[in-house]
């Protein structure tokens, strides 16, 4: 009888230890993931938004952002669940850079837009829009610009080319399909690169106050290429964005160091794009 009780006790202790080991292993995985995440984001001095000259830039995620000025709201590449935009007023303008899913989402557009929202983008985007969006859409091709009256001011929107240069990346973004943009608002010039490499059209930009510049592989460019372009057209302030690639996040802290090691007057501001 004693042998039987001893055997039961041994079996119970065995299962208890197995369960304890499993819980420990699970916690180690959680801790490892947490440590990895902290390591990955510890280099990024995250802030929620950026305001200058009464213009506020708020990151939503990756390539999506909202620009507000007085009572005017401009959405850039709104994608994802429409709940991401509940805290913002309805857009007066929506700018779309390209046809890929991280820039264009018909369901999100339909959910966030107002009846009088003006949607602006290239011809390639128009071909992908749902019927509900076509009547609000205005084509703006590379090299063209248009003025829009807003309150007591004018918003000028210029379409800038965005495309790949590397032979192995030419299929991602062909020349002439997508748009980068320069917005002139309250005497400030804001450049939004879209998905591009360090093309000549970027390098030739003049008098840019704030530039949002992409940097991720394999789709756009390296931090070194982005820094080299920035050092040529010399915006006053840089907001790295669109920096998640297939192998994780680009090292935006290194980008900042490269830029400031050669030009300390360019301010690199790192917003929280991947909350």
Looking up residue 66, the CATH number of its domain turns out to be 3.60.15.10
Mean pLDDT across the stretch 70-77?
Answer: 96
Report pLDDT for 47: 65
Q: Going by C-beta distance under 8 Å and a sequence separation of 6 or more, which residues neighbour residue 110?
A: 130, 132, 133
Do 51 and 36 share a structural domain?
Answer: no
Inter-residue contact 128 to 97 (CB < 8 Å):
no
**227 is a domain residue:** yes
Residues 67 and 22 in one domain: no
* Residues 9 and 119 grouped into a single domain: no
Asked if residue 145 and residue 77 are part of one domain, the reply reads yes
Q: Is the pLDDT of residue 32 over 90?
A: no
Q: What is the domain extent for residue 82?
A: 47-268
Place of tokens 């304890």: 20
Co-location of 65 and 29 in the same domain = no
Same domain, yes or no: 114 and 240: yes
Q: Quote the tokens at residue 273.
A: 């794009």
Give the residue-averaged pLDDT of 61-73: 96
| 179 occurs within a structural domain | yes
Q: Is residue 274 part of a domain?
A: no
For 225, the 3-state DSSP assignment is helix
pLDDT higher at 196 or 19: 196
Q: Kindly report, residue by residue over 99-127, the tens digit of the pLDDT.
A: 998 999 999 999 999 999 999 999 999 99
Is 263 within a domain? yes
Q: Are residues 7 and 82 in the same domain?
A: no
Residue 46 pLDDT grade (very low, low, confident, very high; cuts 50, 70, 90): low
Q: Classify residue 273: in a domain, yes or no.
A: no
**Residue 34 sits in the same domain as residue 55:** no
DSSP 8-state symbol, 84:
G
Pairwise pLDDT comparison (85 vs 48), residue with the higher score: 85
pLDDT, residue 13, reads 42
Indicate whether 30 and 54 sit together in one domain.
no
**Stretch 42-47: mean pLDDT:** 48
pLDDT at 248 over 50: yes
What's the average model confidence in pLDDT over 35-41? 34
pTM for the structure as a whole:
0.82
Domains contained in the chain, number: 2
Residue 96 in domain: yes
* pLDDT tier, 172 (very low <50, low <70, confident <90, very high otherwise): confident
**Residue 256 included in any domain:** yes
Stretch 81-103: mean pLDDT, rounded?
A: 95
Is residue 148, in this structure, part of any structural domain at all? Answer: yes
**149-163: string of b/e by CB count within 10 Å (b at 16+)?**
ebeeeebebbbbbbb
Average pLDDT, the chain: 85
35 and 65 in a single domain? The answer is: no
Q: Please give the full DSSP string across 22-78, using - where no structure is assigned.
A: HHHHHHHHHHHHHHHHHHHHTT----S-EEETTEEEEEEETTEEEEEETTEEEEES-
Shared domain for 29 and 134, answered yes or no, is no
- Based on the fold, state whether residues 122 and 138 are members of the same structural domain: yes
């Amino acid at each position: 009888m004693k042998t039987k009780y001893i055997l039961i006790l041994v079996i119970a202790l065995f299962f208890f230890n197995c369960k304890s080991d499993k819980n420990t292993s699970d916690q180690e995985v959680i801790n490892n993931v947490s440590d990895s995440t902290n390591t990955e984001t510890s280099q990024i001095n995250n802030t929620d938004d950026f305001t200058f000259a009464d213009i506020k830039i708020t990151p939503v995620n990756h390539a999506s952002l909202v620009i507000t000025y007085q009572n005017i709201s401009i959405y850039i590449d709104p994608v994802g669940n429409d709940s991401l935009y509940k805290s913002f007023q309805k857009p007066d303008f929506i700018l779309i850079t390209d046809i890929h899913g991280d820039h264009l989402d018909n369901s999100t557009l339909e959910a966030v837009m107002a009846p009088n929202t003006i949607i602006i983008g290239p011809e390639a985007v128009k071909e992908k829009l749902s019927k509900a969006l076509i009547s609000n859409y205005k084509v703006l091709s590379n090299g063209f610009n248009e003025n829009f009256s807003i309150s007591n001011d004018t918003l000028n929107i210029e379409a800038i080319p965005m495309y790949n240069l590397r032979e192995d990346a030419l299929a991602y973004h062909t020349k002439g399909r997508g748009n980068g943009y320069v917005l002139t608002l309250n005497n400030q010039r804001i450049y939004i690169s879209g998905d591009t490499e360090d093309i000549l059209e970027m390098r030739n930009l003049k008098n840019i106050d704030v530039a949002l510049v992409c940097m991720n592989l394999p789709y756009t460019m390296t931090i070194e290429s982005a820094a080299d372009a920035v050092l040529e057209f010399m915006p006053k302030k840089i907001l790295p964005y669109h920096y998640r690639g297939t192998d994780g996040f680009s090292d935006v802290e290194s980008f900042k160091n490269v830029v400031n090691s050669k030009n300390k007057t360019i301010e690199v501001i790192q917003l929280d794009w991947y909350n």
